[in-house]
Structure 1
Amino acid sequence: MKTDIEIARSIALKPIDEIANQAGIPVGSLEHHGKHIAKVDLSEIPSTPPSGKLILVTAITPTKAGIGKTTVSIGLALGMARLGKRAVVALREPSLGPCFGQKGGAAGGGYAQVLPMEKINLHFTGDFHAITSAHNMITALLDNYIYQNRNNPIDGLSEVLWRRVLDINDRALREVVTGLGGSVNGIPAESGFDITPASEIMAILCLATSLEDLRRRIENILLGYTKSGTPFTVKDLGVAGAITVLLLDALKPNLAQTTEHTPAFIHGGPFANIAHGCNSILATRMALAHSEYTITEAGFGADLGAEKFYNIKCRTAGLSPALTILVATLGGLKMHGGVDEKELKAPNVEGVRKGLANLDRHIENLGSFGQTVIVAFNRFATDSDEEIEVVRAHCASLGIGFAVNTAFSEGGAGALELAQLVVDTIGREPSKPLTFTYPLEASIEEKAQLLARKIYGARSITFSAKAKKQLARISTHGWDRFPICVAKTQYSFSEDPTAYGSVRDFDLEVRDVVINTGAEVIVLVLGTLMRMPGLPKSPQAQRIDFINGFIEGLS
């Protein structure tokens, strides 16, 4: 089979005007970025709630190679189109860090991709650069404020919380000292870099419901505290207008196409292990307004991405999915069944059976939100029919719909079974209101306890001394009404990335708390998770090149 990039190059793309016409978007609402990509004006989002059906794609706890949610999401849109349904997929934008680090790309795979994949995986429409620039512009303006008020006993800051961001994996920048080289270069201070998907600006862009809401959220960003202990925000800095201006174009959703020319909105890109892991509310609403079925995904396993999709995104936007799809693979099930990671492709029926406990936990968790759940089995060439039948029979015993997906190798034809199951299930089982894990009125500690017990299966969750200091501030200033966003490993229900399967009755500790008053979420950092990833021993960048007029090495 051809590589992802070879498949992408083999497909003759349609002009983006034709793709927009399919979705009922007038050409006058497009801002063209070449022939095959366009930004869409926010006027295409209706003021009344759109009538389209929202479908969430999530997954069991992933392996390091992933589970294939994006491929399933895109494949489902292709399958829906083959059934004669108007379907649109709404996805996050890839980050340069993972593209040049471990993954090589994040635009789907095989014959289920969003195109042009080279541009989507690289600079695309410049949204990530705009977010990086806006974030670091705040940093520069804040540093200047501190420098200009260094001798002012009233207006000076006693503590700075705002860091820097870069959309590159660079472990050396996690902790830095700025302002060295004499007073002409500023005031020496400790700082550090997070990756751009962890930026609060990224979260704000994805959670904003309008341009006005974007401006309001930017104003409310907490930068630090004055010498009197008062919170100091972007509004106090007086630059919210300037930062909003930098994000005017980035706020508009991006329209592209799939390998079978169905419309695709690609906008925003927070990671689910360090942020809330969903594409923008604006892109989702726009997709819902221009389709019968909108398919979207939430990053990593359902304990991270799906939980945040419901408790944060849906609660903020007033969304409620008609159905949730849980993606599983034999490799993932075997890993959770105790099979060595080097042996995941070899047949092992017993390993699959043992790994079903992880699938069951996620089904149970998704059911706690009131969601109707079906399982999409993402099939690989090495999978045996006997092993697949074990999973199918298990789902049948639970009364859970099951479909095999082969969109990677067959495009929309390989997702017809899944597409028909989705249509039939939604038609048979009316959607129910979401049930959230915790009430917003609860304290941050209470929210954390409910989430840890109900979703992770933990025995307890405690807070470090550093985290408790932040909790006191949160309570004092009334920020405890915000939802929580847990930053932890994606490879386990626990904070131990090697604790596979369906672990329970473990202890968790929140080692740090990040207060995002603009995004209106409280980030709880667990375990050793870093908000700035490092590069692997052999980064994908070593395989990316421009050869004979073509980009190679992206996937």
Structure 2
Amino acid sequence: MTTQPSDVEIAQAHPLKPITEIAATAGIPDAALIPYGTTKAKVDITALQDVEPAEGKIVLVTGVSPTPAGEGKSTVLIGLADAFSQLGERTVVALREPSQGPVMGIKGGAAGGGYSQIVPMEDINLHFTGDFHAISAATNTLASIIDNHIHQGNDLNIDPRKVTWQRCIDVNDRALRNVVTGLGGPTHGVPAETGFTITAASEIMAILCLATSLKDLKKRLGDITIGFTYDGEPVTARQLQAEGALTALMRDALNPNLVQTLGGTPAFVHGGPFANIAHGCNTLLATQTAQKFGDVVLTEAGFGADLGGEKFMDIKSRFGGLDVAGAVVVATIRSQKYNGGQAREDLTTENLEALKAGVINLERHVENIRKFGVKPVVALNLFWSDTQAERDFMREWAEGFGVALAECSVWSDGGAGALDLAQTVRDNFVKGESKQLYDPAAGIEASIETIAHELYRASSVEYGPKAKKDLQYIKDNGWEEFPVVISKTQYSFSDDPTALGAPMGHTLHVRELLPRTGAGFIVALTGDVMTMPGLPKEPAANRIDVTQDGTISGLF
């Protein structure tokens, strides 16, 4: 009996092309390439100012509500990109960088899987080019500047009890959610209650992902609100004269990272915010750069279409003026059976009743994508346990629901397993019709309620005591017309992770509103979602090792 190779073993066995060759394939000029070794590089955005954009058609890859069985959204995107390349389309990928939190935790990385991966896989899933380290360094530098300013006389009259800026670290560490700093006496600073955010959910991560130039990056960093004075006035990083140092730390991180798929398709992997607690999209610069060199640009948004998909359209597309030509909703038969009530351990067993009951989750995501003026295609990612009867049901369902569906087998077949999907997506392109769901000018409450009613099908929105105070702060400071990023469980359309399928008539509970004035949006924390995850009982880190010759094993 042969043992199936792991993702990392498949990646390690694949001969990589020199990154200079990948850049040449894309048409990226040599002067713009900053190699990091031989298989990855950064692309200097300042060297591309005179490059005429190809205005590549953007295809957004999103998915159904994630389940413990996994749906393979990134894997499908990468295979689909290679399929477009095989069909003769000049194709470029734009993906997020993996966070060390999920890599060492439970979810895994974001480099795809099987024969549908971006490589070098180990580099991408671990330190890569140091972007996450730069974000952490900048975040923590600002925290130290704040503490030092208060310690050294506090000329800005900052209230230590109202400092909202937190440090960050790119690991899942529940012990850092709530901490006290400044202990040990007067020479060690002013004691304060604070906490850590995971780097992927930090504001500087969001700023990196929305900045359009070095000048814009510096402005956004200066616009960060770090807390309030004793008189209730907001204090910015610019008032602390911190934006120059932060920009210096972030300068190189601003340039997109270039790698390749197993099929040799150029891939920009840049920025990595989570979609359940942040805005869930790779950098705007990476997507815009990909548009300069590709006729088709494949990009993703984290988790389901209710989270990452919505934020891609309402945040990223709004800020960047992007037109989305097509959308793919990745689903599996297993995910729909899980939403129909089948236990995780039984998902490999045929169950048409559970499939029929659970397909309402997919229906809701398809309906939601249509509200953005895009024509979605369902990518049915096949697994070995899917039966012919279940596959027949899904085809019949799609025909009856009026949505195009194409099966794919990218994990085992790479791009060849997504040729039908690529053709189907190409047949469903639209131009100039994508739009946002709400107008931020109507105010933060109206924005939240529109998302809650239109996408989550909630009947009401309830603001907790802290959220009500935050709402008044937001209005008093003129931030009420910022767009909103809703932080919500990824497992349900509601803020209750156990409410599977397509719940309706529930209440969305908003417990806190966080102004992100540098990023330019308001974060609404709902339910019990946290900005610092914890590790599971058996973290993935326990299986990772390095052989004596330096080969990493057990990564995935």
- Shorter chain as denominator, the TM-score bin is over 0.9
Match of 1:140 in 2: 144
| Secondary structure, aligned partner of 2:94 | strand
Aligned pair partner of 1:99 in 99, 103, 110:
103
Amino acid at match of 1:490: Q
List per-residue Cα deviations over 1:334-353 (Å, max 9, x = no partner).
01111112211111111111
- After superposition, the Cα gap between the structure-2 partners of 1:386 and 1:154, relative to the gap in structure 1 and judged at 3 Å, is closer
Match of 1:442 in 2: 442
C-alpha contact (below 8 Å) 2:69/2:335 kept by paired residues: no
Task: Tell me the distance in 1 between the aligned counterparts of 2:297 and 2:532.
Answer: 32
Amino acid at match of 1:57: V
| Secondary structure, aligned partner of 1:481 | coil
Task: Tell me the distance in 2 between the aligned counterparts of 1:514 and 1:47.
Answer: 38
Aligned pair partner of 2:123 in 108, 119, 123:
119
Structure 1 position 435, deviation (Å):
2.9
The equivalences for 1:210-225 within 5 A come to 210-225=213-228
C-alpha contact (below 8 Å) 1:256/1:266 kept by paired residues: yes
List per-residue Cα deviations over 1:438-457 (Å, max 9, x = no partner).
11111111111111000000
In the alignment, does 2:336 pair up with 1:333? yes
Task: Tell me the distance in 1 between the aligned counterparts of 2:147 and 2:50.
Answer: 40
C-alpha contact (below 8 Å) 1:46/1:289 kept by paired residues: no
Q: How many residues align?
A: 551
| Secondary structure, aligned partner of 1:212 | helix
| Secondary structure, aligned partner of 2:16 | coil
Amino acid at match of 1:504: M
C-alpha contact (below 8 Å) 2:224/2:237 kept by paired residues: yes
Aligned pair partner of 2:264 in 261, 264, 267:
261
Match of 2:545 in 1: 545
Match of 1:502 in 2: 502
In the alignment, does 2:360 pair up with 1:361? no
Amino acid at match of 2:519: A
- After superposition, the Cα gap between the structure-2 partners of 1:346 and 1:45, relative to the gap in structure 1 and judged at 3 Å, is farther
Structure 1 position 104, deviation (Å):
3.5
C-alpha contact (below 8 Å) 1:87/1:262 kept by paired residues: yes
Structure 1 position 46, deviation (Å):
5.8
Q: Which moved more, 1:477-486 or 1:96-105?
A: 96-105
Task: Tell me the distance in 1 between the aligned counterparts of 2:289 and 2:108.
Answer: 29
The equivalences for 1:142-541 within 5 A come to 142-150=146-154, 154=157, 159-426=162-429, 430-541=430-541
Give TM-score scaled by structure 2 length.
0.97
List per-residue Cα deviations over 1:416-450 (Å, max 9, x = no partner).
11111122222xxx324323221111111111111
List per-residue Cα deviations over 1:89-134 (Å, max 9, x = no partner).
1100000111011134221000000000000000000000000000
| Secondary structure, aligned partner of 1:322 | strand
Match of 1:35 in 2: 38
Q: Which runs of 4+ in 1 moved over 6 A?
A: none
CA-based RMSD of the aligned residues comes to: 1.3
Identity of aligned residues (%): 50
Task: Tell me the distance in 2 between the aligned counterparts of 1:149 and 1:69.
Answer: 51
Structure 1 position 552, deviation (Å):
0.6
C-alpha contact (below 8 Å) 1:180/1:186 kept by paired residues: yes
Amino acid at match of 1:358: N
Task: Tell me the distance in 1 between the aligned counterparts of 2:283 and 2:270.
Answer: 6
Task: Tell me the distance in 2 between the aligned counterparts of 1:237 and 1:92.
Answer: 31
| Secondary structure, aligned partner of 1:235 | coil
Give TM-score scaled by structure 1 length.
0.97
- Structure 2: which 5+ residue stretches go unaligned? none
Structure 1 position 155, deviation (Å):
6.2
Task: Tell me the distance in 1 between the aligned counterparts of 2:489 and 2:264.
Answer: 35
Task: Tell me the distance in 1 between the aligned counterparts of 2:156 and 2:237.
Answer: 20
Task: Tell me the distance in 2 between the aligned counterparts of 1:156 and 1:393.
Answer: 62
| Secondary structure, aligned partner of 2:239 | helix
- After superposition, the Cα gap between the structure-2 partners of 1:155 and 1:139, relative to the gap in structure 1 and judged at 3 Å, is closer
In the alignment, does 2:90 pair up with 1:86? yes
- After superposition, the Cα gap between the structure-2 partners of 1:191 and 1:262, relative to the gap in structure 1 and judged at 3 Å, is same
- After superposition, the Cα gap between the structure-2 partners of 1:507 and 1:204, relative to the gap in structure 1 and judged at 3 Å, is same
Amino acid at match of 2:93: V
Structure 1 position 29, deviation (Å):
0.9
Structure 1 position 84, deviation (Å):
1.2
Amino acid at match of 2:99: S
Match of 1:44 in 2: 48
Q: Which moved more, 1:502-511 or 1:48-57?
A: 48-57
Task: Tell me the distance in 1 between the aligned counterparts of 2:527 and 2:107.
Answer: 23
C-alpha contact (below 8 Å) 1:45/1:285 kept by paired residues: no
C-alpha contact (below 8 Å) 1:177/1:188 kept by paired residues: yes
List per-residue Cα deviations over 1:176-205 (Å, max 9, x = no partner).
000111111111110100100010000000
C-alpha contact (below 8 Å) 1:158/1:227 kept by paired residues: no
Q: Which moved more, 1:86-95 or 1:392-401?
A: 392-401
- After superposition, the Cα gap between the structure-2 partners of 1:49 and 1:523, relative to the gap in structure 1 and judged at 3 Å, is farther
| Secondary structure, aligned partner of 2:42 | strand
Q: Which moved more, 1:97-106 or 1:502-511?
A: 97-106
Amino acid at match of 1:125: T
Task: Tell me the distance in 2 between the aligned counterparts of 1:301 and 1:102.
Answer: 18
| Secondary structure, aligned partner of 2:71 | coil
Task: Tell me the distance in 1 between the aligned counterparts of 2:336 and 2:458.
Answer: 21
Structure 1 position 368, deviation (Å):
0.9
Task: Tell me the distance in 2 between the aligned counterparts of 1:140 and 1:424.
Answer: 53
Task: Tell me the distance in 2 between the aligned counterparts of 1:10 and 1:169.
Answer: 30
C-alpha contact (below 8 Å) 1:270/1:278 kept by paired residues: yes
Structure 1 position 158, deviation (Å):
5.8
Q: Which moved more, 1:216-225 or 1:379-388?
A: 379-388
Match of 1:554 in 2: 555
Task: Tell me the distance in 2 between the aligned counterparts of 1:272 and 1:47.
Answer: 32
